[in-house]
Structure 1
Amino acid sequence: MKKLVIIPAYNEEGGIEKTVQDILSNAPDFDYVIINDCSTDQTLAVCEKNGFHVVNLPVNLGIGGGVQTGYLYAWQNGYDIAVQFDGDGQHNARYLDEMADKLINEHLDMVIGSRYIKKEGFQSSGLRRFGIRYFTGLIRLVTGKKITDPTSGMRMVGRDVIGFYAKNYPKDYPEPESVVTILKNGKKVEELPVQMNAREEGVSSISPRKSVYYMIKVSLAILIAAFRR
């Protein structure tokens, strides 16, 4: 089966090399593609210097547009499995084979790497954990499915969802909304316990000042997605 790691990258010059080396060392059966979302730092230069596989976007599309570009690449190039993977060193490639086995053997449509099943490794800040618990409750309310880590950017999907996301993917803070969308379309989603690392380089796109906007926007997006297919 053809398997692809999608690495959305915006200003990840400090972590992108380590991320790719992690994949090459711990998940050699996976191909990878970096979606450089018009970074203003040296991300593209680092990729070109190392000969990394990169799609260089001419304009900044944001995280949703960058990830959707990765799914479109996966769809057009015939990949059976695709997995999102942060470019800042927070995710660990040693879990990718286990995620793929779970996806295939349990006939799932998505497997999410969750920090909050075994609660090992980096657990994020208290404020963010509160927000994650809130979204877990909201998603369970509208879908009946408990997702312990709905904001996790480490998620693997099969061919059907690749095609779905290549055509339709949320543009802003997309993780919770995109899970609700496929759950409401009858797709099977499960989680796998993983350990994540604290961010070593770069800055999160969700600053404390944006937290209130994030909570309101994502809540509305989840509710809309729950009643639209």
Structure 2
Amino acid sequence: MKVVVIGGTGLIGSKVVAGLNEHGHEAVPASPNTGVNTLTGEGLAEVLRGASVVVDVSNSPSFEDDAVKEFFRVSTTNLLKAEAEAGVSHHVALSVVGTDRLQASGYFRAKQAQEDMIKDSGLPYSIVHATQFFEFAKTLADSATEGDTVRVAPIKIQPIYSGDVAAAVGRTAVGAPVNGTVEVAGPDTFQLEDFIRRGLAVRKDPRTVETDPNGLYWGADLQESDLLPGPDAHIATTHFDDWGTRQQ
């Protein structure tokens, strides 16, 4: 089975490609680095020729509201059109647990719009909702840093190892389209403050982390459990502390 992975040279995409190839599929990484640009359409028709499945794990290079909205609108439009023309039979997209609850954030409004376009396209599809990756603790910290202090909302988070996300995306890609959403999360639940503190400690980052009752998450004001998966989520096996030990 030929599977084209949009964003296939990034953190998740490269792992998806490797996993699918290890299981005997023909996984092709597609990104500007490989001559495929979903914003311009360059290389799309060529790379999709003969593909059964397209996996989209790409992300906007900018999280600024207008830029991220335009990225997902244009890239998803071009990709879905090219897939229909190529006869692709399954579109898989990676999104985020709680996207529909995070609509005060421009980034998540853009992700919701992407999901809606996929659902309305008429193509068989599966959307994988993942919780935040272990590796993004620093990015979360950077978004909430004032001076040497990180101030975060008093919310819970159930982060996941990127390799487990990639495995879930790969399983979904080679399965039948669900024409809906599946969720995947890590095995441990943390307060956001604790997760970021642990993530920074892995990197030996000395910043102080505090809970701020007025703190936002990518511009959104959340309820305590808004980032947590539902009861039917697939729970991965990699614990944060085990992952952290491997990073030393």
The interval holding the TM-score normalised by the smaller chain is 0.3 to 0.5
Which structure has greater strand proportion? 2
Larger radius of gyration: 2
